[in-house]
Amino acid sequence: MKQKDSHLSNRQKQALQTRQRLLDAGLAVFLENGFQKATISQIIKKAKTGYGTAYVYFQNKDELFIELMEDVMNRFYEVAELSFEPKSKSEAYEMIEHQVRLFLKLAIQEREIMKVVKEAIGLSVAVNDKWLEIREKFIKRITVDVRYSQQNGLAKPTLNAAVIARAWYYANEMFMWEIVEKDITSIEDIVSNLTKMYTGGLYL
Amino acid sequence: MKQKDSHLSNRQKQALQTRQRLLDAGLAVFLENGFQKATISQIIKKAKTGYGTAYVYFQNKDELFIELMEDVMNRFYEVAELSFEPKSKSEAYEMIEHQVRLFLKLAIQEREIMKVVKEAIGLSVAVNDKWLEIREKFIKRITVDVRYSQQNGLAKPTLNAAVIARAWYYANEMFMWEIVEKDITSIEDIVSNLTKMYTGGLYL
Amino acid sequence: MKQKDSHLSNRQKQALQTRQRLLDAGLAVFLENGFQKATISQIIKKAKTGYGTAYVYFQNKDELFIELMEDVMNRFYEVAELSFEPKSKSEAYEMIEHQVRLFLKLAIQEREIMKVVKEAIGLSVAVNDKWLEIREKFIKRITVDVRYSQQNGLAKPTLNAAVIARAWYYANEMFMWEIVEKDITSIEDIVSNLTKMYTGGLYL
Amino acid sequence: MKQKDSHLSNRQKQALQTRQRLLDAGLAVFLENGFQKATISQIIKKAKTGYGTAYVYFQNKDELFIELMEDVMNRFYEVAELSFEPKSKSEAYEMIEHQVRLFLKLAIQEREIMKVVKEAIGLSVAVNDKWLEIREKFIKRITVDVRYSQQNGLAKPTLNAAVIARAWYYANEMFMWEIVEKDITSIEDIVSNLTKMYTGGLYL
DNA sequence: AATGAATGAGACTTCATTCAT
DNA sequence: TATGAATGAAGTCTCATTCAT
């Protein structure tokens, strides 16, 4: 954003570079070997640092991966954060369909790293916890959107926004995993059915 | 059920008993330690058999667990198999709500073993594959139900039954995991919101 | 040789057949998997008998293999037993060259089983001992031949027949293994050089 | 020998010591238990290092043993490398007899470790391969010697030096194993007969 | 003569992490 | 800030063989 780094000492700049080298190397190694088979050994070799150096910047393998994972998930979160202030049911439909499409397209784009994320979730408690945290962030954001529609008389006011948001997110997340794991590339059928059922069920 | 076994030789009966002892011991050990920490060693000790004996009946820890998992999942599947031939939208609503409630109640009942299942899915490829297989069985069954409603003029005929069934199942499965993992006991809010959104979105 | 079996009871005939079935199955399994990887399990499955049955006829896996090995080695031993009563050095040369050629040709013919024999020698004490026994039988036979030549004034009388026979056998055995393991097919160079050196060194 | 190591950091020197401790411990353990029964566990206990440490320096038990084996075999190889430039047949005879004697004496000296080598050759593919490599090195060296004698008009020029060298080496190796395994101590009979036959057969 | 259910010893190896330098 | 030598826990699974039937 602003001119960061500019006020840093050379030493600090170097440190930042080392850190970034580890991150880059980590990404490459995780993509190539998956989470479990990736070793710190491979990562530091690729980053040309010593064993200890990796532990200066990251508590452990999981933390390094989580950093990488957050980068990717931020891209997903940008989609969730898209402004959502529809004036009508049909506008809501358009916006939601658009959002779902972007979300699933992103899954296709980030397929490889997401496969590793899926694996890591099952293997590392820390990664799993991080994932849960990310998920709640998504659900919270969706809950806000649902409430907006209810407050503006577009959506059924008796439904529990939090539960609906969760259900909706769950369906999206699961299709996302399916796309990632089964190498699915055509998503339009999913996009439209998902959106229709959701808006049909939620909106007036 | 019937008198099976009756035609088995004593030897075979004994073998069957040994196998069952291992299964029982396995369940106890998995419940107590979780999937990862459970060891074959603990299981055979509890079953009072030799190491090799376990490997006569099960290829490895994963296979033994999968057998156990299938037993539990069959109880879930019974719910999915409940006859579903509604005459009206409201009858459909009743039936679906009933099914969801049974499904989630079962999750509460089987909470402990399901926690282990969740853990095992992330840890064992074999268990994960089995889970995917079970999931597809559920989705296939739901797809049939959706089609029935469409063919009887109850549900929107333009929706893709397979995709809708999948989305619906996904939402249910995810709430099931949430209930299992967060020790949730009050499910009525989930049941009613889930059902309302689903029937509102799918049915005419 | 004579009409064996004819006087055997049916039961004894059956037993003999079972034994033979095990031997045949053993050969097939050893050839396919090598000594170490071959399992009793595979053998009895192929022979269509029970576990225990194999142990009625053979003390253990090694014994079954040794029986097979003896069959093959008898074919080699026939070469060693070829009558050897040369009248002159040149006749001796011819006979020895002929013998070496037959011996090494046999190695080519029996290559596959001999590979397994080599493996088994290193792995099983019993097989190794049997091999040593077979070797001594060969050397004893050769010693007789060397003595014959010495007694008939054809070979240097001061050489120690036993040591010479052993050295000669060793060279032959080693070339045999080389042919077996390196899939060598052209042996004439070996045959002639071996024979020339041997007769040159031993004969007058 | 010279002051190598001098330029190594303390860290590297320490590492070298650790490695040597493992090698020394390995030798002791292999001598005491043979190859098969020796365990990494015993070795690290004797070397007072951790499990992982052994695997830092050697891929596995086989590799550690191969290192040990190479040390011994180098002593044998020194004998094979003895300069061989005879001026006459009788000088050749003397030199060869001397070499054979040294070779077999060495076998007596190194009997215990060579017993383990023999065992290991049958048990470990890696050790077997290493042995084959060592053997070829010997044979190559002998081939050079045979050629020298042929080129200087001492040995029969029509014989194939490579085959003769191989045959000669084989006889020596086999007697070496016999001496090692049967605890033979009187070698003069072998030395003289072997040399006589060889020189008689090869030289003019 | 034939069967087959049961047995159990036990050695390997990996790799994230530490901490003295 | 960077290094890298050292650590060590821990759980799998095989398969020849036995012996009661």
pLDDT attached to residue C6: 59
Q: Is the pLDDT of residue D2 over 70?
A: no
- Shortest CA distance to A38 belongs to which of A65, A11, A77? A65
Which pLDDT band, with edges at 50, 70 and 90, does B7 fall under? low
Q: Please tell me the distance from the alpha carbon of residue D155 to that of residue D88, in angstroms, as a whole number.
A: 10
Q: Where are the domains of chain A?
A: 10-58, 62-202
Indicate the SS3 state at residue B186: coil
Kindly report the backbone phi and psi dihedral angles of residue C203, in degrees, each rounded to the nearest multiple of 5, phi listed first. Answer: -90, 160
Cβ contact D183:D112 at 8 Å = no
Which C residues between 38 and 67 have a beta carbon under 7 A from any strand E atom? 48-53, 55-56
Tokens representing residue C100 in the block:
């070496």
Q: Is the CB of A20 under 7 A from strand F?
A: no
Which residue bears the tokens 């951790």? D50
Neighbour count for residue C32 (Cβ, 10 Å): 13
Domain C62-202 belongs to what topology? Tetracycline Repressor; domain 2 (1.10.357)
Interacting residues of D40 by C-beta distance below 8 A, sequence separation 6+: D51, D54, D60, D61
Give CA torsion, residues D199, D202, D203, D204, to 10 deg. Answer: 130
Cα distances (angstroms) measured from residue C103 to each of C180, C187, C200, D162, D168: 12, 11, 20, 21, 19
Indicate the SS3 state at residue B86: coil
Average pLDDT score over residue span A117-141? 95
Q: Is the pLDDT of residue B157 over 60?
A: yes
Q: Which of B4-18, C173-187, D43-57 has the lowest mean pLDDT?
A: B4-18
- Residue C189 and residue D123: Cβ atoms within 8 Å? no
Q: Is the CB of D42 under 7 A from strand F?
A: no
| D110-138 tens-digit pLDDT | 999 999 999 999 999 999 999 999 999 99
pLDDT attached to residue B204: 86
Average pLDDT score over residue span A116-145? 95
Q: Is the pLDDT of residue B40 over 50?
A: yes
Q: Please tell me the distance from the alpha carbon of residue B133 to that of residue C152, in angstroms, as a whole number.
A: 84
| D32-50 tens-digit pLDDT | 999 999 999 999 999 999 9
pLDDT attached to residue A6: 57
pLDDT attached to residue D3: 41
D164 vs C173, C197, C202: nearest CB: C197
Q: How far away is chain B from the Cα of A46, in angstroms, using its nearest Cα?
A: 28
Nucleotide nearest to B17 (CA to C1'): E5
- Residue A174 and residue B170: Cβ atoms within 8 Å? yes
Indicate the SS3 state at residue A155: strand
Query: Is residue A183 packed enough to be buried (19+ CB in 10 Å), middle (13-18) or exposed (0-12)?
Result: exposed
pLDDT attached to residue A9: 73
| DSSP sequence for C80-108 | HTS----SSHHHHHHHHHHHHHHHHHHHH
Q: How many helices (H) and strands (E) does chain C have?
A: 9, 0
Q: Is the torsion defined by CA of A124, A129, A130, A132 positive or negative? A: positive
Query: Is residue D180 packed enough to be buried (19+ CB in 10 Å), middle (13-18) or exposed (0-12)?
Result: buried
pLDDT attached to residue C25: 96
Q: Nearest residue of C to residue D167 by CA position?
A: C171
Q: Please tell me the distance from the alpha carbon of residue B28 to that of residue A105, in angstroms, as a whole number.
A: 44
Looking at residue A27, its amino acid is: L
Q: Is the pLDDT of residue A3 over 50?
A: no
D171 vs C122, C171, C189: nearest CB: C171
pLDDT attached to residue B1: 39
Q: Is the pLDDT of residue C196 over 60?
A: yes
pLDDT attached to residue D99: 96
Q: Please tell me the distance from the alpha carbon of residue B1 to that of residue C102, in angstroms, as a whole number.
A: 71
Q: Please tell me the distance from the alpha carbon of residue B72 to that of residue D51, in angstroms, as a whole number.
A: 42
CA C36 to C1' F14, whole Å = 12
Question: Mean pLDDT score of chain D, rounded to an integer?
Answer: 93
Average pLDDT score over residue span D167-174? 98
Q: Please tell me the distance from the alpha carbon of residue A150 to that of residue A158, in angstroms, as a whole number.
A: 9
Average pLDDT score over residue span A92-111? 96
| C66-115 tens-digit pLDDT | 999 999 999 999 999 999 999 999 999 999 999 999 999 999 999 999 99
Q: Is the CB of D42 under 7 A from strand E?
A: no
C-alpha gyration radius of chain D: 20
| B90-114 tens-digit pLDDT | 999 999 999 999 999 999 999 999 9
Question: Mean pLDDT score of chain C, rounded to an integer?
Answer: 93
Which pLDDT band, with edges at 50, 70 and 90, does A204 fall under? confident
A167 vs B128, B159, B197: nearest CB: B197
Query: Is residue B54 packed enough to be buried (19+ CB in 10 Å), middle (13-18) or exposed (0-12)?
Result: buried
pLDDT attached to residue C14: 87
Question: Mean pLDDT score of chain B, rounded to an integer?
Answer: 93
Q: Is the CB of B41 under 7 A from strand F?
A: yes
Question: Mean pLDDT score of chain A, rounded to an integer?
Answer: 93
Domain spanning C10-58: which CATH class is it, in words? mainly alpha
Strand E nucleotides with an atom less than 7 Å from a protein beta carbon: 1-21
Query: For D68-202, which CATH superfamily applies?
Result: Tetracycline Repressor, domain 2 (1.10.357.10)
pLDDT attached to residue D12: 87
